[in-house]
Structure 1
Amino acid sequence: MKHLVCALALMLGAAQLQAAQPMADVIRTDFDIATRQYSDLLDAIKDKPGFPRTLDQGQVKLVGVRDWTSGFFPGTLWYLLEATGDQKWRAAAVRYTKEVERAKFDKSNHDVGFMLNSSFGNGLRLGADASYRDVLLAGATTLVTRFNPKVGSIQSWNVRADRDWTYPVIIDNMMNLELLMWAARASGDPYYREVAIAHADTSLRNHFRPDGSSFHVVDYDPADGKVRSKVTHQGYADGSAWARGQAWGLYGYTMMYREAKKPEYLQHAQKIAGFIMQHPRMPADKVPYWDFDAPDIPNAPRDSSAAAIMASALLELSDYVEPALGKRYVEFAEQQLRSLSSPQYLAHPGENGGFLLKHATGHKPANSEIDVPLNYGDYYFLEALLRYKAKLAKG
């Protein structure tokens, strides 16, 4: 008992010290840990094909290019280049980004935006050669082949025999629209933008409840666009609020307001933010349980990846609202980042298989990727840190 009390006291002391640090110091320390961790991860996989996604029984799990998460590892390498200026990260990012290129022609996958924007999109933004632009445009052209104008949405998953779905659309798909908005500007072809806005408008009508929370899956009739069902796949129940789903919605409508400047997108992003920030089952450290309605709260698994996505989205959303509300968004995101930067969630150098964040949840109903690191959690964590750093630079 005495040892337990001492351990808890040490953890509390470390958390209090971390909370007292200026955010500039927290960010600097986080990136120092990130460079050490990802150096180890690169060494561990250098002779193996694929992209590190998570840990499976303590071993790094590698996935192929068709996995929806394939772009996040090279995307994280681009963020490390942006944060440090060390050209070794550029070389690694270029190598792994090249491996994602085949996704540009994959018409079976609605996550082309996730895969290419995080890798080739960041590379192009950080000075990669013009061939990255061609890859992104090809990917956008591939993505719009999954759009049905009668539904007004991009089909997420292909029809499966084990599900009574005919045209399933998931809230995650909002994240793929950024590639289309970029493509409309880069090519001068408005069709990409029209598809993205149609999808965002359709999701706005059908994916959300009056309190701002979202369903995970909405299934449509492809013949007439009517809604057949509103269900979940990765959440606790059809009517529950799956935490990462709420994060995707918040990020997606914040991004679409940036790109399209439609007031209803901004209003909706604020509504989602209110649902998340004011939820009575949001823990004190602001790292949500995997589902806000999980029946075993407070013993339910957390999802650090959802917290990282939320923090990044809130930091951007703060730029589009009046100052007092923007300050609240920044303060909430800061709480999340401080928690994720604490020893409870951030790996100590040399552990966690080289990944950064611990305690993420991938697919709880399938008993898959529970209480593990996830590559997209790391990606959005570093993105949020960079966004906070940019705010500090602006004073």
Structure 2
Amino acid sequence: MKITKKILFFAVIIAMVSFQRDEKKNFDIDKNLDYCVAQANKTLAVMPDTLAIPRNIAPGSKQWRFVGYEDWTSGFWPGILWYLYEYTGDVKWKEKADKYSRFLTPLAMRTATDHDLGFQMYCSFGNGYRLTGNKEYKDIFVKASDTLSKLYNPKAGTILSWPGMREKMNWPHNTIIDNMINLEMLFEASKNGGGKSLYNMAVKHAEVTMENQFRADNSVYHVVVYDTVTGKKIKAVTHQGYSDESMWARGQGWAIYGYTMVYRETKDPKFLDFAHKVTKVYLDRLPKDLIPYWDFDVPNITKEPRDASAAALTASGLIELSTYTADKELAKEYLSKAEGMLKELSTKRYKSGNKNPAFLLHSTGHYPNKSEIDYSIIYADYYYIEALLRLKKLKAGKDLFTPLFPAKEITLKK
């Protein structure tokens, strides 16, 4: 009897391992995009009557925590809706994306309270303009870019990230690596009536960050503090990583994604070279399943939570970086690693499925602050669907930024 139980036990284990291998080997991009559509429909079904944005779901919960338009994550939900419209061509998603994008409009019209306007306004209105050409969307993110530019300090050469930290932490002019992602909105605005100054500002920010925010091994510091008068670097510290000298996983992901995007916009080879450098240190230190723990240098790392959001945004960045890489073997490696990340994120270990209406489980927001640890988080979902769409386009030989859907929309069923 004991032998039979042991045989049965090992048979089950072998079957599970075999299933997981097949699940990864037979990676179906459309199947996973269809999954995103189904999960997003679940979220739509529970959206409150008043306008609110889903941000996160706690472990074991099935309920989104909703936030207002001022939250730094507010642009990711309308961005997801735009990506769903791009995939399906269904006007239903276009109408929802428009509704939740317009909810954020006041952010462009007021004084900037932090650097996150790019996350908020470009993921929403930027994607909307890319897919529809709606001039209203363009005007709004150009206005938001002008608002964001007011946080630029010409002495330091970077955009102030957190005005509130000037007094709270005595960080006179602080710049975080996350800020690199907001430069995309400045670049796009400069091409659409915002002027050359926005382009110059974005380039200078990227250059100064490249010079001051990285260690000798090309791993990134989360925060650099500058003197507001002289513009000189005072110190480099962390806020969301394990320690000042550790490599915070999502921070390195922001660097990979950010410098790849800056090369796209400038075609300056120094930015492409740097994107390769910050990518190498990340890939060299990944665990075998390609999903990082929340920080690469935290003690007892195998007992620490993962960060699916870092994996998703890095996968998206790597797909783009592979298209700029002249070395065919290196480009192949980037694409293989990106696809491997997406395959792992698309297993039952990381998909929310019936557990909750998000796309992914196991993201880590702000570990030192004990906030959003092992949560489903909206920006993980955003970069996951973005990476899937990029991979789909690349395999079809299409440009990553050209709308995927055919010109004819699917009409909303009455």
1:75 aligns with 2:70: no
Counterparts of 1:221 and 1:315, CA distance in 2:
37
1:42 aligns with 2:39: no
Give, in angstroms, the shift of residue 119 of structure 1. 0.4
Identify the residue that residue 87 of structure 1 maps to in structure 2: 91
Give, in angstroms, the shift of residue 48 of structure 1. 3.8
Counterparts of 2:107 and 2:323, CA distance in 1:
33
Counterparts of 1:331 and 1:143, CA distance in 2:
36
Report the TM-score, using the length of structure 1 for normalisation.
Answer: 0.95
Counterparts of 2:117 and 2:360, CA distance in 1:
24
Counterparts of 1:46 and 1:112, CA distance in 2:
24
Aligned pairs for 1:263-282 (under 5 A) are 263-279=269-285, 282=286
1:288 aligns with 2:292: yes
CA contact (8 A) 2:58 2:376 kept: no
- Residue 150 of structure 2 aligns to a residue whose secondary structure is helix
- Residue 46 of structure 2 aligns to a residue whose secondary structure is helix
Identify the residue that residue 361 of structure 2 maps to in structure 1: 358
Counterparts of 1:15 and 1:165, CA distance in 2:
47
In structure 1, which of residues 318, 321, 329 is the aligned counterpart of residue 322 of structure 2?
A: 318
Counterparts of 2:45 and 2:197, CA distance in 1:
43
Amino acid at match of 1:44: V
1:235 aligns with 2:241: yes
Give, in angstroms, the shift of residue 92 of structure 1. 1.0
CA contact (8 A) 2:146 2:194 kept: no
CA contact (8 A) 1:159 1:165 kept: no
- Residue 215 of structure 2 aligns to a residue whose secondary structure is coil
Q: Which runs of 5+ in 2 are unaligned?
A: 399-414
- Residue 126 of structure 1 aligns to a residue whose secondary structure is helix
Counterparts of 1:124 and 1:301, CA distance in 2:
37
CA contact (8 A) 1:159 1:167 kept: no
Identify the residue that residue 143 of structure 2 maps to in structure 1: 138
- Residue 72 of structure 2 aligns to a residue whose secondary structure is coil
1:254 aligns with 2:254: no
What is the aligned residue count? 388
Amino acid at match of 1:311: A
Amino acid at match of 2:156: V
Identify the residue that residue 306 of structure 1 maps to in structure 2: 310
Counterparts of 1:186 and 1:30, CA distance in 2:
34
Counterparts of 2:226 and 2:25, CA distance in 1:
50
CA contact (8 A) 2:187 2:202 kept: yes
- Residue 49 of structure 1 aligns to a residue whose secondary structure is coil
- Residue 65 of structure 1 aligns to a residue whose secondary structure is coil
Give, in angstroms, the shift of residue 91 of structure 1. 1.3
Identify the residue that residue 179 of structure 2 maps to in structure 1: 173
- Which is higher, the Rg of structure 1 or of structure 2? 2
Shift in CA distance, 262/342, structure 1 to aligned 2, threshold 3 Å: same
1:392 aligns with 2:398: no
CA contact (8 A) 1:159 1:168 kept: no
- Residue 305 of structure 2 aligns to a residue whose secondary structure is coil
Counterparts of 1:159 and 1:88, CA distance in 2:
39
Q: Which runs of 5+ in 1 are unaligned?
A: none
Identify the residue that residue 25 of structure 2 maps to in structure 1: 20
Give, in angstroms, the shift of residue 103 of structure 1. 1.4
Shift in CA distance, 346/162, structure 1 to aligned 2, threshold 3 Å: same
1:207 aligns with 2:213: yes
Amino acid at match of 1:260: T
CA contact (8 A) 1:208 1:214 kept: yes
Give, in angstroms, the shift of residue 7 of structure 1. 6.4
CA contact (8 A) 2:242 2:298 kept: yes
Give, in angstroms, the shift of residue 359 of structure 1. 0.4
Amino acid at match of 1:308: A
Give, in angstroms, the shift of residue 129 of structure 1. 2.3
Amino acid at match of 1:365: P
